[in-house]
Structure 1
Amino acid sequence: MASEKTKRKHSICMVSDFFYPNMGGVEGHIFQLSQCLLERGHKVVVITHMYNQRNGVRFMTNGLKVYYIPVVPFYNQCILPTILTTLPIIRDILIREQITLVHGHSAFSALAEETLYHAKLLGIKIVYTDHSLFGFADLSSILTNKLLECGMSISDHVICVSNTCRENTFLRANIQDPRKISVIPNAVDSSIFTPDPDAAPKDRIVIVVVSRLVYRKGTDLLVGIIPEICKKYSEVDFLIAGNGPKMVLIEEAKERHKLHDRITLLGSIPNQNVRNCLVKGHIFLNTSLTEAFCIAILEAASCGLQVVSTKVGGIPEILPDSMITLCTPSIPDLIQKVEISIQRIKSGDRIKSLEMHNEIKNMYNWRDVAKRTERVYDMVADSKSENSLIEAILKFRRCGYIGFFVITFVFLANFFLLMIVEYFNPRDKIDLAPDVSNYGRRKSKTHNLD
């Protein structure tokens, strides 16, 4: 492993509203990428907001330092966007940890967006990863896209998790230079998500759903197909893991159609239990209405499940046709494709679980994602972008007249606040933190930092 490590080492700050103990694709991406970057010799810290009573500094596996800053979430696990209020503590962390590169995650994250502006004023390089797809017509998308455009205008490079996501982000953020945006897909830890053919029942066919039960994940479609499949196939059961406002619809369908013994609702489950849930099934069903890259599909395929999914967003890019059955996001087509998969299970006309697992293992690997992300870091570090205040403000011109004046006003206010904070708390008075992550990895035999 030492021979693979690059000579250049970066001090990286991952920033997002979404991190553990919250569970999801972005949270898993940040954690896995951070672990692989630590393995490659880089210094990595994570900044997120507090979760209930979890605030302050915590250490995770291999000495990954996480700052849970004392800012409460406002809506949908995101903080209230103010920009100015987070400057003092974010500045203190970036200086204390001697950060050379800030990596923000998710267009939904207000904390990541704010940290971009703070990092720009501090002369720190910026990389941004977009994990989502957005529309262009509704008010929410228009506002989010305008904020994304302002943030991307000062970012040094943008990473997307699929080609579809790249095209979507390119249009939403009005990126002028196509060389500024790269595609690095997600991955799966195949050492955790392993098949277990003995875990699934032999006399039943279990369809597994692991998803947040919200509109965007197609819960309404799921509610429409469950009664029909259960009516046609008495040997089919549903195992559903996840929580959300749409769970009440599934509970109502369960009561209305008397499917208490056919539908098992697990609710929200810890990340470490997802694999044990998946291996209990034969078919994995995804009904998302929009998806940039669905990690849950990779996890299910790695466990040897036959995948049925809606053909939306970046999903067609994930797996070959032999591993996944795609359909339009409609109830009739979903029922038809699920029936095809049921017949395949009955006839044995499918790829063996271990073969599927080995293919996924060769196709997707977090270490490969880390290597490719590392090349982006090196490219950004070598770029000679201007960090002057005037240069940053001029980049906002592409955000439109109203967007330009609003974001310029906020950016200048942030600059003046930075000057005040610099005066009362000079950077040379801030104690520098030791590189605990590397120390913890080297001394793992005597220092347990889990």
Structure 2
Amino acid sequence: MPHRTYNIAMVSDFFFPQPGGVESHIYQLASKLIDRGHKVIVITHAYDDRKGVRYLTNGIKVFHVPFAVIYRSATFPTVFSFFPLFRNIIIRERIQIVHGHASLSTLCQEALLHARTMGLRTVFTDHSLFGFADAASILTNKLLKFTLSDVDHVICVSNTCKENTVLRAALDPLMVSVIPNAVVSENFKPLPRPDPNSLPFVQHPLPAHPLGPNDTLTIVVISRLFYNKGTDLLIAAIPRILENHPNTRFIIAGSGPKAIELEQMIEQNVLQDKVELLGPVRHENVRDVMVRGHVYLHPSLTEAFGTVIVEAASCGLYVVCTAVGGIPEVLPSHMTVFAKPEEDDLVAATGRAIAALRANKVRTEKFHDQVKAMYSWTNVAKRTERVYQGISGDVSEAEFYGFDVNHDPHWHATRGRNFSLIDRLKRYYGCGVWAGKLFCLCVIIDYLIFVFCEWYWPRDQIDFARDWPRKKFEGDDDD
């Protein structure tokens, strides 16, 4: 079968120039899909003076729509006002598949609703874990159930994330695939170190000698300074770690509301010569920070995947991380020391990592090649492309889902493949006694807005945008 290409719109509030895991995921996935011959655009909100249409490397076209940001880069939910602009972009760019990212992205949730009203295929990627008890999680889960009741397929970045999303949105597990994040290993190489047995100008990525008991060991932390990232845990652990290991120092990069508390801890304990605060660091400079260290400390309280620990291991750092969410799935045990999300255990785990490095029991110089073999954005793009083929009918349902769906009539009743309004309302009506009725009302209003736009602003009056020349797909390599 010839390689079919698609026109894809990635939609999320979280994208460059803001740094972060979701932002990097969207950019790298879009770039690799373009390399495979697809057309990919990104729809996000305006960032400061970055408005309108911008082009990024590899011909990625980015639409920065003018919506107000209310919290942590998420836009104010308008539900319907985004639809006319979204419709115009979709028609101009001849989009076939809308791929939304992140549960907390308002643009993503609204775009998936509008895309289904327009009769487009939809995919959603979840990058986060949420609970079931607090008010914010309950509201988010209910909205996610509304959105995912009518999508074609869901992608999660880890098996733990899949279990969480299936429970939160009451999904059929067969509609959810696990495709992890990846890392551009070439951008996260360890520092080459001189080999004492070679000429002075010849360098090898091998340590010149193991860390001695009096050598300074550096611990690196790169994270947003928020509660869920374990900043409170970090603040409590740093003085104890430095007390137990005098020849140790910290380099901390990142920004957030917890930065003030971190600065106060440093002043109270007089640790200015032991803790270096860098503030926010651009993603292209992350590697330069990481290679200054020996240990990477990741005290997160919840994490669906944790791309930063893969980047750290690729740079040759020994990783100390909390065993929460999908983190235990990310790296093999010889690259990591796991801790419970508790102060005492985090201090003890960091101590074990320091002792192992000083005793030369860990060969961190081998980590880069091992990570390179484990994670590849090209592989992520291939697997995502397979999802697109499955929802578009380019591969058989039996092949895509792994069983003969014709023998399961209930499966057809619960899928998001039918675009008719009455079938969509049936799916939304099952979202709750009161919520189901509210969701149905939203869908009806959305459909009426769509009909009005089709009448007031006909498709034949909207010009098609000229595309970049598509890359010629040469086929998959044997690996």
TM, length-normalised to structure 2:
0.88
The one of 52, 63, 67 equivalent to 1:56 is 52
User: Match for residue 322 of structure 1?
Assistant: 334
The correspondence for 2:135, drawn from 116, 135, 139, is 139
The 4+ residue runs of structure 1 with deviation greater than 6 A are 199-202
Whether 1:362 and 2:394 are equivalent positions in the alignment is no
Alignment counterpart, residue 92 of structure 1, candidates 84, 88, 98: 88
| Deviation larger for 77-86 or 196-205 | 196-205
Cross-structure match for 1:399: 431
Q: CA deviation at 1:386?
A: 1.1
1:430 aligns with 2:425: no
What secondary structure does 2:130 align onto?
coil
TM-fit CA distance, 1:197: 5.1
Matched position secondary structure for 1:344: helix
Q: How does 1:35-434 map to 2 (within 5 A)?
A: 35-175=31-171, 177-196=172-191, 198=193, 203-353=215-365, 355-382=366-393, 385-434=417-466
Unaligned segments of structure 2, at least 5 residues? 194-204, 398-415, 473-479
Cα deviation digits, residues 280-332 of structure 1 (max 9, x gap): 00000000000000000000000010000000000000011100010100111
Deviation at residue 250 of structure 1 after TM alignment: 1.1
SS class of match (1:102)? strand
Q: Which amino acid aligns with 2:239?
A: P
The Cα shift of 1:249 comes to: 1.3
Contact 1:236-1:262 at 8 Å conserved across structures = yes
**Higher RCO, Cα 8 Å, sep 6+:** 1
Three-state SS of the structure 2 residue aligned to 1:322 is helix
CA contact (8 A) 1:322 1:351 kept: no
Deviations 1:189-233 (A, max 9, x none): 001001115499973100000000000000011011110111122
Deviations 1:214-265 (A, max 9, x none): 0000001101111011112221000000000001111011101100010000
SS at match of 1:81: coil
Letter in 2 for 1:185: P
Letter aligned with residue 384 of structure 2: T
Scaled by the length of structure 1, the TM-score of the pair is 0.94
Provide structure 1 residue ranges, at least 5 long, that are not aligned to the other structure. 443-450
Distance (whole Å) between structure 2 residues aligned to residue 146 and residue 54 of structure 1: 32
Instruction: Answer yes or no: is the 8 Å Cα contact 2:317–2:364 preserved in 1.
Output: no
2:53 and 2:63 in contact (8 A); partners too = yes
Question: What percent of counterpart residues are identical?
Answer: 47
Matched-pair contact (CA < 8 Å) for 1:6–1:40: no
1:364 aligned partner, one-letter code: Y
2: distance between equivalents of 1:141 and 1:309?
24
Aligned with residue 20 of structure 1, among 12, 16, 33: 16
Question: What is the deviation of 1:398?
Answer: 2.2
Distance 1:244 1:304, change over 3 A: same
Matched positions, count: 434
1:51–1:72 CA contact under 8 A, matched in 2? no
1:60-106 Cα shifts (integer Å, max 9, x gaps):
00110000011121222111112111001000001111000000000
**Residue deviations 1:7-37 (CA, integer Å, cap 9, x gap):** 1101000000000011100000000000000
Distance 1:184 1:246, change over 3 A: same
Indicate conservation of the 8 Å contact 1:207/1:283, yes or no.
yes
Q: Distance in 2 between matches of 1:373 and 1:214?
A: 31
Mapped partners of 2:440, 2:430: distance in 1:
12
CA distance, structure 2, for counterparts of residue 399 and residue 76 of structure 1: 28
CA distance in 1, matches of 2:183, 2:106: 27
The whole-number CA distance in structure 1 between the counterparts of 2:102 and 2:5 is 25
Deviations 1:348-379 (Å, cap 9, x if unpaired)?
110232x1100100000000000000000000
Question: Which entry has the higher C-alpha Rg, 1 or 2?
Answer: 2
**Aligned-pair RMSD on alpha carbons?**
1.6
